[in-house]
C-alpha cells in the first residue's frame, strides 16, 4: 500500500517495469521528462481535503462501504490524466477520482492488497482516528500470516 509520493512513484515503477514505458517520469524532479506520467495537479492539494468518487465494485469502495469519501492531502502532483487509460488496460485500475475526473486511487487486480492513494490516510492520526484503509491493510496482513504460517 502506498500513498502520496508512494502513489506517484508506484505508478512510475509500474509504467516502467510492466507497461515498458522506460521514459515514464515525475515532472517535479524532471520537468523536461519525455513522458511526464506524474504532472502538476490542476489544483494544489497541499493541506486540503477533497471529495473522491470510488468505482463501484472496487476494493476501496468495499473497504469504505460507500461510493464517495472525503480525504486529506498534502501534494501538488498526480497522475497525468493523459495516461490514465494505459493503466486501466493493464490490470492496474484507477478506482477513485476527484469530481473533475483526476485519479486519486489505484489498485492492482489479483493482488491481495496492492493499492495506492494520492491522499494520505495516516493524516487521520492527527485526529486520533483509525483510518479504514490502514485497518483493512492490517487485517490483510493478519489474514496473510494465518494462511502462510509466518509470524509477525
* Per-domain boundaries in the chain: 2-148
Specify the CATH number of the domain 2-148.
3.40.50.880
Q: pLDDT 10s digit of each residue in the chain, 152 long?
A: 444 578 999 999 999 999 999 999 999 999 999 999 999 887 666 667 789 999 999 999 999 999 999 887 777 888 999 999 998 778 899 999 999 899 999 999 888 788 899 887 766 656 677 778 878 888 888 887 776 666 55
Query: 27 near 11, Cβ under 8 Å?
Result: no
Cell triple for residue 83?
Answer: 495516461
On whether the CB atoms of residues 132 and 120 are closer than 8 A, the answer is: no
Q: Are 116 and 60 in contact (CB under 8 A)?
A: no
Question: Cβ(140)–Cβ(112) under 8 Å?
Answer: yes
Amino acid at each position: 500500500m502506498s500513498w502520496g509520493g508512494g502513489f506517484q512513484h508506484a505508478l512510475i515503477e509500474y509504467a516502467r517495469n510492466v507497461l515498458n514505458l522506460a521514459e515514464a517520469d515525475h515532472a517535479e524532479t524532471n520537468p523536461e521528462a519525455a513522458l511526464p506520467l506524474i504532472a502538476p495537479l490542476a489544483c494544489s492539494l497541499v493541506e486540503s481535503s477533497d471529495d473522491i468518487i470510488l468505482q463501484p465494485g472496487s476494493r476501496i469502495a468495499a473497504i469504505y462501504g460507500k461510493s464517495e469519501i472525503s480525504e486529506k492531502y498534502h501534494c501538488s502532483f498526480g497522475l497525468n490524466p493523459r495516461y490514465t487509460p494505459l493503466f486501466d488496460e493493464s490490470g492496474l485500475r484507477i478506482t477513485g477520482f476527484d469530481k473533475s475526473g483526476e485519479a486519486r486511487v489505484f489498485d492492482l487486480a489479483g493482488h491481495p492488497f496492492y493499492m495506492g492513494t494520492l491522499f494520505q490516510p495516516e493524516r487521520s492520526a492527527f485526529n486520533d482516528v483509525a483510518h479504514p484503509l490502514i485497518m483493512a491493510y492490517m487485517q490483510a496482513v493478519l489474514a496473510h500470516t494465518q494462511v502462510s504460517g509466518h509470524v509477525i
